[in-house]
Every structure is written in C-alpha cells, then in structure tokens.
Structure 1
C-alpha cells in the first residue's frame, strides 16, 4: 500500500486532474491540444535531448535493450497474429492491434514511476530504453502496416515511407540531436542549458496533465475480448518476459528494475495516434489506452512490490 500511495498515485493524480478538467470543460479541447503540442513537440524532445546528451554511452548495455525489445516485439507478433486468427480481423487492423502491445508508455509513466520508486539516479536505463523506443516501435509498426496495405505497390517504396515517418517525429529529432552532442562532445553554453532545463522541468507534469485530458475523450466501446487480450500482453506478458530475459541475461539490479517497470506500463497515447494515422482499430486502441492506464495503477503497484 505504501508503494501505491507514495510512488504511483501522485503520477496518476496529475493525469486525473487533467481528466477531470477536460471532462468538466474547465479547459477546452483546444487547450488540451495546445498543452500536448507544447509537451510532446517542445518540452519532452528537450528532456530527451538533455538526457541523451549526458548519457554515459560507455555504460550502454545491449543486454538491456535486447531484453526489453525482445519482449516488446514478441508481444507485437502475438497481438497481430491473435487479431487475425483468433479475433478474425483484417491484417491492417491486426498491425494496429499489435502496435498497441508493442508501444508501452515508457516516457510518461515508466520514467516518473521509476524515478519516484528508486530515485533520479536510477533512470539511466530508462533513458537508454527511451532512446530506442520511438525509432524501433515506429519502424516495426510502419513497416508491417505498409507491407499489409501494399496490395501490389512496389516494395522498394516502403523504406522511404518508414524513414520519412520516423524522422518527422519531434521525439526522435530530440534523441538524434542529443546523440550528436554526446558523440561529438559539443559544448552547450550555460545560458542555453539553463533555458532548456526550464523547459525540461515542465515536460512531465504538462504531458501527464495533457494525457489525462486526451484520455477524457475516449470511451470503452465494443471489442472487449480483443481489448482485454491486448492489455494482458501489455500489462502482464511483456513484464513477465522482461523479468525472465533480464534474469537470464544477468542484468544489473538497476537496469533490471527499469526494464521490468517500463515493460509493465500501459499502452501509450502513441498507440492510438498510430491507429488513427491509418484509420485502423482506433476503437480498440483508444479503449486500451484508457482502460490500460486505469488498470496500470494496480498492476504497476504489483510489479513494484515484487521488485522491492
């Protein structure tokens, strides 16, 4: 209970305030959209830029990334195949459903929960995961979707579409810029660094509040078996795989905790954005984001209890 109260509830309290503010029209949909554009288009890319620029790449552990993304990709495949063969969905729908199980909310939930549970110094592994997260997930999802919907279009056009979609993402641009600074040792003037730090301090609170406002627009509608199956992959199978693989790989304790906590997070809002981008399985995606975020209050507490 102490884990639930001290670590998880403050994060979800900010989401809940945003949810209630949007539900009661205390802030307009345009206001929520503005907050999300600020957080995801400016503040969070700057947060990622600073984190990656200062990340000690000598301690970048391929076992960490391999553990997390092996589990993530496995859930994607299971979700996609189950959607086709178990729930009788079309392949394009199936890719969107697989993407829901693939894209855990590593940034808005995994990062603050890890920080509150284990301290700010314990988030190095989180940023290593986050650095790869959007590029990997979008590369997998867009490639699979373009193949599914190719229908005779020349396959050589797919790589260009994937790269164009990936590098139009502001989060990936922030990660790329941070990596360039890290590798080149380019100094950042103090006044610039302090200004960026002001943006960083606003990043997670504004994003969590905005996430609550976005979730307020969703309703849990239909397709309940598909929704519950997909959430079981995201909230239960992925962290279980991360635990088993992390144990087999003998990850250090700090990395092991970050991998399991991040794997246990609900699908991120990007799961809905991906579905909406292609107009496929949007109802399932929206319901999974809404219900998964609510359920992760309990499931995250359970995983943290096991880790502690």
Structure 2
C-alpha cells in the first residue's frame, strides 16, 4: 500500500497545491488557465510526439485496446443516461450530460501523469494510442447527442450530424494533441530518429506536462462548486470512478491485453471526470452546475478510488 500511495498521492497533492495557490491568493485563477493552455498546446503534444516517435509497438494491434476502453465508455454513458432520465426525472439533455460526465475521463491532466508514475513507458504508449481516438470520438459523440437531445426537448431545428461533425472535425484537425500524435506517427512509420540534442530539448518540455497539468487543474477547480447537485452528482461519480474502470478491466482481461496495457487503461478510466463535460454543458447552456458538481466531487473522491484501483492492479 505504501508504494501505491507514493505513486498516487503526489498526483492529488499537486492538484491540491494548485487549488491552494488560488485560494490563498498567491496566484490568480487566470494564471491556471494560461498554464493549462501551455500544457494542452505545448507540453502534452510534445510528450505524445516523443512517445509515439520512440515507441516499440512490437506489432501490437490497437483495436483490442480501443474495444476494451470504449466498452467502459458505452456502459458508463448508457447507465448515467438511464439513471438521469428515469430515476431523477431529468430531460434528455441532462441525460446526455450525465452519461457524458460518467464516461469522459480526465485523461490528459490526470490520466497521463498517473499512468506515467505507476505503469511507466509501456503505459504511456497505451495512453498515446488511446488519445489518438479518444478526444475526437468523445467530442463528436457528445456534441451530436446533445444536438439531438436539444431538438427533442426544445423543438429547435438540429444542425444535422454532418454539420456538427464538420465543425468538430475542423477543430480537431487544429488540435495540438492530434498534431503531436500524427507527427510522432510519421516519424515512427518512416523510421526516422530525432537528433540527440533535439530529443533532449523535446524531452525537457515534455517533462513539464505532468506537474504543470496537475497544478493548472487544481487552479481551475476553484471556479467550480457543488451547486446543490450533491445526490445526483454522487451517483454519476460512482459510475465514473467504479463502474467504468470495472467494465474496462473485465473487457481488457477477456481480450487478453498485456498487464501493462490493462493497468494503463483501467487506471486512466478510473480518474475523475474531465473538464470537457463542462465545456459541452456551457456550449448548450444546460447543466453547467451539474457538470461542475460531478467534476469537483469526482476529483475530491478520486484520490481514494484511484488508489484502490492501483492497489488491485499493481
């Protein structure tokens, strides 16, 4: 247990550190936004680029990895939607948001640092393969589902799946994470190695990704609260932190993934809800308080649940 604590606790201590910097008025919350931009636009893309470019995939197929992870997404999303609409009596828009919040893990800001510390290089390779499709699929699915729910609830004409897909696709083409992954994949395919000095520089920038991501996340969390959704958020948090990783572990075991890849997938699926759920809620102007509550609560409880998953896996 002590070794697990040494790997997991620093992740959440850095989040708490970032939160405290703002609460104690040492830094302003806007600085956290800037630091988050650096992480998303520079540090993590560099990490993805370097990881993919230097990885040895041993001929492994990514499809079993994707199936295992997105099986967990499907179960968590469906369960969250059903509970929100049938047990809490909310409309279809809140159902979509609840499902998305229960299935959208904070893979970049928490998952990557966690897997890096606990699993190591093999885990980062698995994360890179996952992130190549995770953000595009989740953002397109979330936006399209919310568009359809909006149409059913308010009668507003839908923009159509093609229009939404084009809009999201255009944003993803410019997404720094996708650019970093694709650039690394090009080097991997042609077998070109970076010069040692350049690799060292990229490595130093990439090394900033984990601590900067966690601190910026903590600073950003000061903007969110529970907003009177404690009971509802607690159920969605349980789906996110327990049901989703349990499903991923079961499917990954059935598909015979390696212990390292299984651990990486289960651990990243067990991390708190990502801020993208709140971004979609804000775009459609519905459920912002609920999304913020789930993000806050899952992050607070995540230190316990992630530690337990790490203890079971490692």
**Normalising by the residue count of structure 1, what TM-score does the alignment of the two structures yield?**
0.91
Structure 1 CA distance, aligned partners of 2:267 and 2:211?
A: 19
Say yes or no: does 1:228 pair with 2:229: no
Q: Within 1, Cα distance between the matches of 2:176 and 2:224?
A: 24
CA contact (8 A) 2:73 2:103 kept: yes
Q: Which moved more, 1:156-165 or 1:6-15?
A: 156-165
Q: What is the 5 A alignment of 1:167-178?
A: 167-178=173-184
Mean Cα displacement is larger for which, 278-287 or 188-197? 188-197
Kept in 1, the 8 Å contact 2:110–2:213? The answer is: no
| CA-CA distance at 1:235 after TM superposition | 0.4
Q: For residues 127 and 30 of structure 2, what CA distance do their matches in structure 1 show?
A: 31
Give the whole-Å Cα distance in 2 for the aligned partners of 1:277 and 1:196. 34
Unaligned regions of 5+ residues in structure 1, if any? Answer: none
CA deviations 1:66-92 (Å, max 9, x no partner) are 101111122112222322222222322
The CA deviation at 1:204 is: 1.3
| Deviation at residue 266 of structure 1 after TM alignment | 1.0
CA offsets per residue over residues 203-247 of structure 1, 9 Å max, x none? 111111100101122111212222111111110101111121122
* Shift, 1:13, TM fit: 1.4
How far apart, in 2, do the equivalents of 1:190 and 1:276 lie? 44
Q: Does residue 1:208 correspond to 2:183, yes or no?
A: no
Task: Provide the rounded CA distance (Å) in 2 between the counterparts of 1:273 and 1:264.
Answer: 20
Unaligned residue ranges in structure 2 (runs of 5+)? none
Partner secondary structure for residue 149 of structure 1: helix
- What is the alpha-carbon distance in structure 1 between the residues aligned to residue 49 and residue 108 of structure 2? 13
User: In the superposition, relative to structure 1, how do residues 161 and 91 fare at CA in structure 2: closer, same or farther (>3 Å)?
Assistant: farther
Aligned to 2:267: 261
Deviation per CA, 1:133-178, whole angstroms, max 9, x where unpaired?
2122112112212333353346342332231243343322322333
CA 1:116–1:194: 2 relative to 1, 3 Å:
closer
Please say if 1:152 is aligned against 2:163.
Answer: no
Aligned to 1:140: 141
* Change over 3 Å in CA distance of 1:244–1:121 after alignment to 2: closer
Q: CA deviation at 1:297?
A: 0.7
Task: Report matched runs for 1:4-15 at 5 Å.
Answer: 4-15=4-15
Deviations 1:251-304 (A, max 9, x none): 221112112111211112222223223222111111111111111111111112
1:51 matched residue in structure 2: 51
Partner Cα distance (2:228, 2:94) in 1: 15
- Find the residue that maps to 1:254 and give its secondary structure: helix
Structure 1 residues 97 and 166, CA gap change in structure 2 (3 angstroms): farther
- 1:31 deviation in Å? 1.4
Is contact 1:3-1:301 (8 Å) kept?
no
Distance in structure 1 (CA, Å) of the matches to 2:179 and 2:306: 30
Counterpart CA distance in 2 for 1:147 and 1:190 is: 50
